[in-house]
């Protein structure tokens, strides 16, 4: 089908992965080649990760920053994620 190997591995891992595996896979894939994953795959992975870890400031911040890279359609969602991330970080510091 012409799907790159990186994308195939990522989708296989994402399908039934726990949050740690999703995060690890995202970091690994984006570390090897930042644009290797299609935007839909990145969005899906970050969405699943945020749903499983709604109070993880680091993950919310990464998801927001990643969405900003592919806007402007998702900029509102990205800003919400970044604001929530900052709110969680501020609460943790108090």
**What pLDDT shows up at residue 1?**
64
The ranges assigned to domains in the chain are 5-93
Cβ atoms of residues 66 and 85 within 8 Å: no
- Output the pTM of the full model: 0.82
Cβ atoms of residues 81 and 50 within 8 Å: yes
Half-sphere exposure of 53 (CA within 13 A, CB side): 19
C-alpha closest to that of 68 among 59, 60, 79, 57: 79
Q: Residue 11 pLDDT more than 90? A: no
Cβ atoms of residues 90 and 76 within 8 Å: no
Q: To the nearest whole number, what is the mean pLDDT of the chain?
A: 89
């Amino acid at each position: 089908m012409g799907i790159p190997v990186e994308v195939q591995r990522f989708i296989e891992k994402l399908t039934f992965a726990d949050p740690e595996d999703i995060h690890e896979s995202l970091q690994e894939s984006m570390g090897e080649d930042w644009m290797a994953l299609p935007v839909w795959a990145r969005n899906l992975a970050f969405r699943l990760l945020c749903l499983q870890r709604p109070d993880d400031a680091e993950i919310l911040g990464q998801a927001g920053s990643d969405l900003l890279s592919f806007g402007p359609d998702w900029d509102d969602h990205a800003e919400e994620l970044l604001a929530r991330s900052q709110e969680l970080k501020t609460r943790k510091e108090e």
